[in-house]
Chains A and B, each alone.
Chain A
Amino acid sequence: MTDDIALIQRYLAGEENAAEELVMRYQKQLYAFLYRMTRDMEEAKDLTQKTFLKAMQGLGGFRGDASFKTWLYQIALNTGLNHLKESRREMFDIDETALGSNGDPLDGLIEEERKQRIRNALHRLPERQRTAVVLRAYDGLSCQETAKVMGCSEGAVKAHYHLGVKKLRKYMEECGYAARP
């Protein structure tokens, strides 16, 4: 498989197919990341497109200090956060009805409800902790890559990540069930 830098050089030399290949390579990952930020499919689709447009237009300025993937995630994170700020929404808005303590959570628990609760628990985390957990657990970024995306130190990433996972455990236990062994 051609590496990202070679594709970037081919695109800058005028080969449009190279840009399409770059988009195809990362579009699903970025969409999933942005969906986890917004919890809205249409917004995530729109933000994915915006992220790639920004990336392609700024490709001439890509210096290669970090990997292209890390750089893309940086743009996606900023695009997503700006969008949430503009739409005056919290990144962690919670569907309280799904997380409420009405009724016994074990009563009639189905798989979808379980997933919804985990999703909500994730959205209850503060922004930095949630970003660290999502980037590490879902997107498979290393601590170093996550630090570059978030613009902080590796130590800070580890702290955000560990605190986030600890709180998730607590929320899940509060909901009446422990994580499945």
Chain B
Amino acid sequence: MLLDHEQVRTLLPDYLNGSLGHEARTSMAEHLAACEECSAELAVLEELAGVNVPDPGDLFWAALPKRIVAQVERPVPWWKGLLAAIMRPAPLAAVAALLLAVMLVPFATHYVGPPDRKEGGILSLEQIDLPKQQVQEIARTVATSDQEVSALLDTDENSTSEYQQVIASLSADELDELVQELQKTGNSGGDA
């Protein structure tokens, strides 16, 4: 194996900590013997390796693993999390209320509730289960009432137009006199 200058420079830390294979190591040694720059870099790394780190002591090393395991919050399986969430007081009450509602549903099926007033409001005759003759009779009565109401309205319309004609023919003095009379009538309650 032939290593070039850049490869040797890059592999110097591995050469120093002994992690290279025999062949690479031999090639590195050959290059280092001939290359001043690489051997100077190796010397720098050796100096660095000689700088110690203060040891916190055996007690620290022995206690650390147990301390970490004791402090770490272990990942909880999903079903345990769900169970824990359900077993809290508030969700438990909600579940109980839901179960109670489900149990009461069969007893509440006969209650129909108020009629829907949004669509049509009042039921039509077809919706009421009556004999056909009775339905026709009701329909006739309703039609008669409508005619009478129209007749009354027509009478009122005619009367109104007659009054309008009479008032239109009055002079200004006569109108003032009429207004005064009307005011008196209003003050006395209408029957005076």
List CB contacts (< 8 Å) of B23-48 with chain A: 39-41, 43-48
Question: B47 → chain A, closest Cβ, in Å?
Answer: 5
List CB contacts (< 8 Å) of A45-69 with chain B: 45, 48-49, 52-53, 56-57, 59-60
- Indicate if the CB atoms of B75 and A48 lie closer than 8 Å: no
- Indicate if the CB atoms of B68 and A137 lie closer than 8 Å: no
Interface size class of B (residues with CB under 8 A): 35 or more
What 1/0 mask marks residues of chain A from 138 to 170 whose CB sits below 8 Å from any chain B CB?
Answer: 101011000000000000001001100100110
- Indicate if the CB atoms of B64 and A49 lie closer than 8 Å: yes
Q: Which of A16, A28, A179 has the most CB of B within 10 A?
A: A179
- Indicate if the CB atoms of A28 and B48 lie closer than 8 Å: no
User: Would you give 28 A-B contacts (Cβ < 8 Å), ordered by A?
Assistant: A12-B75, A21-B65, A23-B64, A23-B69, A27-B65, A31-B53, A41-B56, A45-B60, A49-B67, A52-B68, A56-B68, A56-B72, A57-B72, A118-B50, A118-B51, A119-B51, A122-B51, A137-B13, A137-B16, A137-B48, A140-B14, A162-B9, A162-B10, A165-B45, A168-B48, A179-B47, A180-B43, A180-B47
What 1/0 mask marks residues of chain B from 58 to 89 whose CB sits below 8 Å from any chain A CB?
Answer: 00110011111101111100000000000000
What 1/0 mask marks residues of chain B from 84 to 117 whose CB sits below 8 Å from any chain A CB?
Answer: 0000000000000000000000000000000000
- Indicate if the CB atoms of A24 and B65 lie closer than 8 Å: yes
- Across the interface, which residues of A come within 8 angstroms of B40, CB to CB? 169, 178-179
- Complex: how many Å from CA A20 to CA B64? 9
Residue of B nearest to A157 (CB): B10
Interface size class of A (residues with CB under 8 A): 35 or more
- Indicate if the CB atoms of A181 and B43 lie closer than 8 Å: yes
Known contacts A32-B53, A179-B40; is A19 also within 8 Å of B68 by CB? yes
Residue of B nearest to A24 (CB): B65
Which 7 pairs between the two chains have the least Cβ-Cβ distance? Answer: A179-B43, A20-B65, A23-B65, A56-B72, A60-B75, A136-B13, A32-B53
Question: B53 → chain A, closest Cβ, in Å?
Answer: 5
State whether the Cβ of A92 lies closer than 8 Å to any Cβ in chain B.
no
- Indicate if the CB atoms of A168 and B44 lie closer than 8 Å: yes
- Complex: how many Å from CA A12 to CA B40? 48
List CB contacts (< 8 Å) of B1-19 with chain A: 9-10, 13-14, 16-17, 19
Given contacts A118-B47, A137-B13, 10 further A-B contacts (CB under 8 A): A20-B68, A20-B69, A45-B56, A115-B51, A119-B51, A137-B45, A140-B14, A161-B10, A162-B10, A169-B44
Known contacts A162-B9, A169-B41; is A49 also within 8 Å of B46 by CB? no
- Complex: how many Å from CA A119 to CA B47? 10
Residue of B nearest to A17 (CB): B69
